[in-house]
Amino acid sequence: MAQQLTDAFLIFALCVLAIACIFYLVRAVVGPGFSDRILAVNSIQTIVIIIICIIAVLQGESYLVDVALIYACMSFVTVIIICKAYLRSHHKDRANDLSNLKGGKDK
């Protein structure tokens, strides 16, 4: 009886997490700014890690926790690379804007 109750709770948690993931996906697509999109993608990745761990408990397979840890490392590196690339392009745009402003003052 206790096992069935636990399984039902975990399945309910999976459903709630799936719905939250859908809302975050909408936020990632519609988000007004880059930071909103990055936070939404990072939240989706965190939810996926939690879902993998819940499935590991439901299935009784411990190797899925290892998969979740590898996915967590990959998602961390992915977010860092995307942010670094964005900041690099953002700084180039700001440098061009500043040089245009300086050139505009000399005229």
Section 52-71 average pLDDT: 96
What are 33-57's pLDDT values in tens digits? 888 999 999 999 999 999 999 999 9
Q: Is the pTM of this model over 0.75?
A: yes
Query: How do residues 74-100 score in pLDDT, each as one tens digit?
Result: 999 999 998 888 888 877 776 676 677
Q: Residue 30: pLDDT band by 50, 70, 90 thresholds?
A: very high
SS3 per-residue string spanning the chain: CHHHHHHHHHHHHHHHHHHHHHHHHHHHHHCCCHHHHHHHHHHHHHHHHHHHHHHHHHHCCCHHHHHHHHHHHHHHHHHHHHHHHHHHHHHHHHHHHHHHHHHHHHC
